[in-house]
């Protein structure tokens, strides 16, 4: 196996592994964001800038 073949094999493995890693990470983040139990928390965070409970000093 020449150094170029070795580099290409390692490069291909890293690209596929990275793609799989980020696809799984993206799926996990989407599952967290759209999980029904988190809706109330996200709704509260969305309304936070509009609440007038405190004076912005």
Calpha distance 55→12 (Å, rounded): 55
Q: What is the pLDDT of residues 12-46, one digit of tens each?
A: 999 999 999 999 999 999 999 999 999 999 999 99
Which residue is associated with the tokens 């965070």? 45
Give residue 57's pLDDT band: very low, low, confident or very high (50, 70, 90): low
The whole-number pLDDT of residue 30 equals 97
Give domain limits for the chain.
3-48
Q: Are 38 and 32 in contact (CB under 8 A)?
A: yes
Q: Which of 9, 54, 26 is nearest to 34 (CA)?
A: 26
In this predicted structure, the answer to whether residue 3 has a pLDDT above a threshold of 90 is no
Give mean pLDDT, residues 44-54.
85
């Amino acid at each position: 196996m020449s150094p170029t073949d070795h580099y290409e094999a390692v490069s291909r493995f890293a690209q596929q592994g990275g793609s799989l890693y980020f696809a799984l990470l993206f799926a996990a983040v989407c599952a967290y964001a759209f999980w029904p139990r988190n809706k109330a928390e996200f709704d509260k965070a969305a309304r936070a800038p509009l609440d007038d409970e405190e004076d912005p000093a």
